[in-house]
């Protein structure tokens, strides 16, 4: 079972990715986050885009019509 803080982190991360993507930001990539506090760990973050399943019914040209 996930903690309340982990669930909140996942919601915040999902919202950040969706918002950045919708604004045209490059979301897929690798980032190094350096924390300026000696006792805190630094972090590596990798975001990978997964293609939609071809069976999903998604038609990207639908909005162009």
* Residue 23: domain span: 4-64
Q: Could you tell me which residue, 60 or 17, shows the higher pLDDT?
A: 17
Q: What is the pLDDT of residues 5-25, one digit of tens each?
A: 999 999 999 999 999 999 999
* Domain count for the chain: 1
Q: Which long-range contacts (CB under 8 A, 24 or more apart) does 13-21 make?
A: 17/47
- pLDDT at position 21, please? 94
* Residue 35: per-residue pLDDT: 94
> What is the pTM for the complete model shown?
0.68
Span 50-63, average pLDDT: 63
Partners of residue 30 on adjacent β-strands: 46
What pLDDT is stored for residue 24 in this prediction? 95
């Amino acid at each position: 079972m996930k903690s309340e803080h982990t669930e909140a982190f996942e919601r915040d991360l999902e919202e950040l990715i969706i918002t950045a993507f919708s604004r045209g930001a490059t979301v897929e990539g690798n980032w190094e986050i350096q924390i300026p506090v000696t006792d805190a760990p630094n972090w590596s973050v990798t975001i990978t885009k997964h293609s939609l399943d071809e069976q999903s019914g998604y038609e990207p040209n639908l909005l162009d019509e």
